[in-house]
């Protein structure tokens, strides 16, 4: 066994052994370990690379299988009639009792708005947990309902009560899904107006029953605003009730919730409207039309759109192009489809602030010149998705997104499309 | 007073060399990192056995490895051999290969410091290019 001095002699022949040898060796060891850690950290992926801004890749499926889709042509949609859980947190509501009372009134008005959408009711129910503690001093919700009844606004009072029970919100979501179904060949959807609990499955004249239940709406209002909506979806085969599909969808929206009661709760309405649209679309796609095959889809530079980072266009009618590769080996699917790559059509969308500005469906080829001039000086987003023509009908792939896709049960408020900025054209002086 | 002035520097150098030699980081390649031609090659990469290789005209480009890694214990996405093989094919394709030798895959439940993984499966193979006969 070597002594420290012998050991040091090996390292450094001719060195004078010293009483401080061990101390120095320790120092050297600490330094060496530091160097070792530094060297290692240089090759560790401790910082996750941002997703490549050009494509989507998926190797799992969140959609219902074709085998299950095959036997469904008539769908009964049952909106949930159970209460919705509300979770509110945060301290920066910034509203006084009087302002909240005005908000209550605005909620009722919006619920009975001329467009008949009833979306104001959702605004109202979302406001309930925030209103309740504050509004106690001005009569509270019960007082608001009583006031409406006194003024013979029974409909308004009913709307409030229905909203609180969650019926209105669920019906609106059901209607959103029904709207999508009406655009699909070979499948129809009817909304059950009587509560599902009061109906036996054998009485329902349809191939499948789609139960939709909004489970929870959560609002966090402070410097980090966040609106969350979760929805449980269950599809049962009729008349037996065999489960075909079950998923809980989560939608989140982190846009600012400042000024939430301004303009009759416009901000709330907008948040919830988008949540309804996005969740409804996602449910419809996963159940009936989405086909998640492994693929890479990314934009291709054109003369008018070349720099994806700056995303500056040089014309108001840009040419958009994309590259698509099917990767094959779709073992995540029960029965991988045979897709003819030469027979894929394309849907294209351009959005302005999340709203659809331009849409083309079933385009041939992987290149498209925008046919109507876009507005100048606009920040837009765009995307394409494949449309596969299969023996069982048309199926669509996911929209091309900037980041790698989340699981299909997570629904962001806005599709994560590719950015493009239209040029700012100077107006001609007269 | 001579106290072995070179000892500390020597220790540092040795440690750094040791650390670097153990630094066998295997980068993860995403499908979207590959261009169209590379993706087509990735789809077509074949595994060439000894007999096929002896009868064909293959040039070796060296060895390559593919990693599947448990990076987050909470995520519980355990390493899968098919993912390691997919990485192997992606990296081979990026390196210009059209074929690989039969791969050898090894599972490890030891910490992999270099790759920042709790568990790993690493597949290794020789990457090959098929050349047209003279």
What is the pLDDT at residue A148? 45
3-state secondary structure string across A107-126: HHHHHCCCCCCCHHHHHHHH
Stated as kind and residue range, the H or E segment containing B52 is helix B50-55
pLDDT band at A21 (very low <50, low <70, confident <90, very high): low
**Which of B11, B70, B83 to probe the A interface (max A CBs under 10 A)?**
B11
Is residue A430 in a domain? no
Stated as kind and residue range, the H or E segment containing A326 is strand A319-326
Q: Do B115 and A57 touch (CB under 8 A)?
A: no
How many CB atoms neighbour CB A360 within 10 A? Answer: 14
Residues of chain A neighbouring B30 (CB-CB closer than 8 A): 52, 57, 404
d(CA B114, CA B123): 16
Same structural domain, A300 and A270: no
Please tell me if residue B16 touches chain A, with a CB cutoff of 8 Å. Answer: yes
Same structural domain, A327 and A395: yes
**Which of B15, B45, B71 to probe the A interface (max A CBs under 10 A)?**
B15
Q: Which domain holds residue A196?
A: 66-289
Q: Do A31 and B12 touch (CB under 8 A)?
A: yes
Same structural domain, A314 and A218: no
Is residue B9 in a domain? no
Residues of chain B neighbouring A29 (CB-CB closer than 8 A): 11
What is the pLDDT at residue B44? 93
Smallest CA–CA distance from A328 into chain B, residue: B43
Is residue A57 in a domain? no
d(CA A170, CA A280): 11
Instruction: At A118, list the tokens.
Output: 């009833």
List pLDDT tens digits, range B51-74: 999 998 999 999 999 999 988 777
Give the distance from residue B108's alpha carbon to the nearest chain A alpha carbon, in angstroms: 18
Same structural domain, A251 and A393: no
Is residue A52 in a domain? no
Contact A251, A231 (CB under 8 A): yes
Please tell me if residue A5 touches chain B, with a CB cutoff of 8 Å. Answer: no
Strands B99-100 and A418-421: unpaired
ipTM (interface predicted TM): 0.70
Contacts of A246 (CB under 8 A, 6+ apart): A232, A233, A234, A235
List pLDDT tens digits, range A266-280: 666 677 777 888 889
Is residue A269 in a domain? yes
Is residue A54 in a domain? no
Give the distance from residue A49's alpha carbon to the nearest chain B alpha carbon, in angstroms: 10
Is residue B3 in a domain? no
Q: Which residue from B10, B20, B31 is facing A39, i.e. has the nearest CB? A: B20
Span between the terminal Cα atoms of chain B, in Å = 70
Q: Do A32 and B10 touch (CB under 8 A)?
A: no
Q: Which domain holds residue B79?
A: 25-130
What is the pLDDT at residue A411? 62
Angle between helices A4-11 and B5-21 (to 10 degrees): 80
Smallest CA–CA distance from B45 into chain A, residue: A327
Domain CATH number, residue B43 = 3.30.110.70
More confident call, A270 vs B131: B131
> How many domains does chain A contain in total?
3
List pLDDT tens digits, range A42-70: 333 222 222 232 233 344 557 888 888 98
Contacts of A393 (CB under 8 A, 6+ apart): A185, A186
- Burial of residue A391 (CB within 10 Å: 0-12, 13-18, 19+) is exposed
């Amino acid at each position: 066994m070597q002594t420290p001095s012998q050991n040091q002699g090996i390292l450094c022949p001719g060195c004078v052994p010293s009483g401080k040898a061990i101390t120095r060796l320790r120092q050297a060891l600490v330094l060496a370990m530091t160097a070792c850690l530094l060297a290692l950290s240089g090759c560790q992926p401790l910082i996750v690379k941002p997703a490549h801004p050009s494509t989507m890749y998926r190797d799992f499926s969140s959609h219902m299988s074709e085998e299950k889709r095959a036997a469904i042509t008539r769908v009964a949609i049952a909106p949930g009639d159970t209460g919705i859980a509300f979770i509110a947190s945060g301290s920066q509501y910034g509203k006084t009792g009087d302002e909240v009372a005005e908000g209550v009134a605005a909620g009722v008005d919006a619920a009975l708005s001329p467009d008949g959408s009833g979306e104001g009711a959702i605004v109202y129910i979302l406001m309930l947990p925030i209103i309740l503690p504050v509004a106690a001093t001005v009569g509270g919700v019960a007082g608001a309902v009583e006031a409406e009844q006194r003024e013979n606004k029974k409909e308004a009072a009913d709307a409030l009560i229905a909203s609180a029970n969650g019926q209105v919100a669920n019906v609106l979501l059901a209607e959103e899904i029904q709207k999508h179904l009406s655009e699909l060949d070979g499948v129809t959807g009817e909304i059950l107006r009587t509560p599902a609990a009061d109906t036996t499955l054998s009485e329902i004249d349809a191939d499948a029953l789609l139960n939709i239940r909004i489970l929870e709406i959560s609002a966090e209002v402070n410097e980090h605003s966040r609106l969350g909506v979760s929805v449980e979806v269950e599809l049962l085969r009729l008349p037996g009730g065999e489960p075909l599909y079950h998923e809980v969808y989560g939608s989140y929206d982190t846009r600012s919730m400042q000024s939430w009661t301004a303009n009759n709760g416009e901000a709330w309405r907008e948040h919830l409207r988008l949540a309804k649209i996005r969740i409804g679309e996602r449910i419809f796609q996963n159940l009936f039309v989405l086909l998640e095959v492994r693929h890479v889809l990314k934009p291709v530079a054109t003369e008018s759109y070349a720099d994806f980072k700056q995303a500056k266009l040089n014309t108001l009618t840009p040419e958009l192009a994309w590259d698509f590769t099917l990767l094959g080996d779709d073992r995540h699917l029960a029965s991988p489809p045979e897709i003819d790559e030469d027979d894929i059509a394309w849907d294209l969308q351009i959005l302005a602030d999340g709203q659809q500005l331009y849409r083309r469906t079933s385009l041939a080829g992987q290149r498209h010149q925008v046919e109507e001039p876009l507005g100048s000086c606009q920040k837009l987003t765009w995307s394409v998705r494949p449309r596969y023509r299969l023996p069982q009908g048309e199926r669509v792939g996911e929209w091309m997104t900037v980041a790698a896709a989340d699981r299909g049960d997570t629904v962001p408020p806005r599709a994560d499309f590719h950015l493009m900025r239209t040029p700012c054209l100077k107006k001609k002086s007269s | 007073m001579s106290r072995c002035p070179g000892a500390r520097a020597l220790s540092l150098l040795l440690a750094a060399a040791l650390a670097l030699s153990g630094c066998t980081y295997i980068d993860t390649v995403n499908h979207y990192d590959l261009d169209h031609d590379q993706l087509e090659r990735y789809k077509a990469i074949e595994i060439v056995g000894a007999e096929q290789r002896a009868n064909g005209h293959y040039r070796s480009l060296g060895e390559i490895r593919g990693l599947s890694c448990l990076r987050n214990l909470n995520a519980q996405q355990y390493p899968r051999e098919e993912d390691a093989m997919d990485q192997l094919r992606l990296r081979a394709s990026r390196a210009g290969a059209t074929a690989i030798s039969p791969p050898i895959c090894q599972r490890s439940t030891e910490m992999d410091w270099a790759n920042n993984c709790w568990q790993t499966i690493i597949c290794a193979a020789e990457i090959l290019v098929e050349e047209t006969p003279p």
